[in-house]
A and B are shown apart, each in its own frame.
Chain A
Amino acid sequence: MIAAEGGAEVRRAHSPGSAGGLRVELGRRYRFAASHRLHNAKLSAAQNRELYGKCNNPHGHGHNYVLEVVVSGAVEAATGMIANLADLDAYVEKQVLNDYDHKSFNEDVATFRDVVPTTENVCMDIFARLKTFPLAKLERIRVEETGNNSFEYAGEHTEEIVS
């Protein structure tokens, strides 16, 4: 369909441009700010300090995260799009940003009650929240915790990215 949000559905016609063995992906970046504390309750206080260093600070700390979402699919002739950005933006907002932005991972996000909110684990949680996007196929996500640290996850396809 060419747009969600209750709009009329227009018959799908696919651009010849997406034929010929070419594959197109659409990438979109989002931002959220959140706090976390890296702490594993199964370890002693000393072990936690040793393992997580500054990130174990009892009162937490935060980052400006950047989330990159990549989807694939046929480019529709009627719109020239894999997916309407308004639909993708609304889905990411509903599934991820509403729960994550200006929140404490440890205190506010149910996933992290018993899971240490490292960015590796955050990536896997985001992928699980977005893989149900109905209008295109979720290929992979990438999260920048800072400009110097980034993490990627592609579900079961992650190994194919490496190979």
Chain B
Amino acid sequence: MVLLTRKIEFAASHRYDNPNLSPEENRRVFGKCNNPHGHGHNYTLEVTVAGEPDPVTGMVLDLKDLKELLEREVLQRMDHRNLNVEVPELAGKIPTCENIALVIWNLLEPKLGGGKLHRVRLYESADLFADCYRAAASNGHAPAAEEAR
């Protein structure tokens, strides 16, 4: 088994605001991220695929195919966009690192041309990231269940 990782970057804007909370609650919970006019980040996405190298090509999957998949599913959808209003998969969700990583996982997993999606890591900045795994592929830890809190 080999893990391969492809990295891409995109720039997007977002705002954290839950319409079920009052403006005061939103400001308290989300702080600066609740600024009415939004703000943006340079996101870095690392997609890791696990698999056995094909005996003929020596590849787990063709990096060109992965690049095109990321271009189509992630960059065209999110690069230079407002995540709150232009990405239907995030409609009704707070566009946090955690939620964006989950959306990206669900966009990529069914369309991967080879290997198995192992990890989606999304950096919002150098100091903040979210990792998404399928529970069975996650070093044996328990799934993200309610009891984990």
Which of A33-41, A46-54, A66-74, A109-117 lines the interface with chain B? Answer: A66-74
Chain A residues whose C-beta falls within 8 Å of the C-beta of B134 in the assembled complex: 21-23
**What's the least CB distance linking B70 to chain A, in Å?**
19
The answer on a CB contact under 8 Å between B31 and A74 is: no
CB-based nearest B residue for A77: B93
B residues whose Cβ falls under 8 Å from a Cβ of A: 16, 18, 20-21, 25, 28-31, 93-99, 101-103, 105-106, 126-136, 138-141, 143-146, 148-149
A78 touches B98 (CB 8 A): no
User: Is the beta-carbon distance between A17 and B149 smaller than 8 angstroms?
Assistant: no
Q: How far is the CA of A26 from the CA of B122 in the complex (A)?
A: 10
User: How many residues of A sit at the interface, in one of the four size bands?
Assistant: 35 or more
- Is A160 a contact partner of B128 (Cβ separation < 8 A)? no
**B139/A73 in contact, CB under 8 A:** no
Q: List 26 A-B contacts (CB under 8 A).
A: A14-B146, A15-B93, A15-B99, A17-B99, A17-B103, A18-B102, A18-B144, A21-B135, A21-B136, A22-B102, A23-B134, A23-B143, A24-B101, A24-B102, A24-B131, A25-B131, A72-B144, A73-B149, A75-B96, A78-B94, A79-B96, A81-B94, A136-B149, A139-B141, A157-B139, A157-B140
Cβ–Cβ < 8 Å partners of B101 in chain A: 24
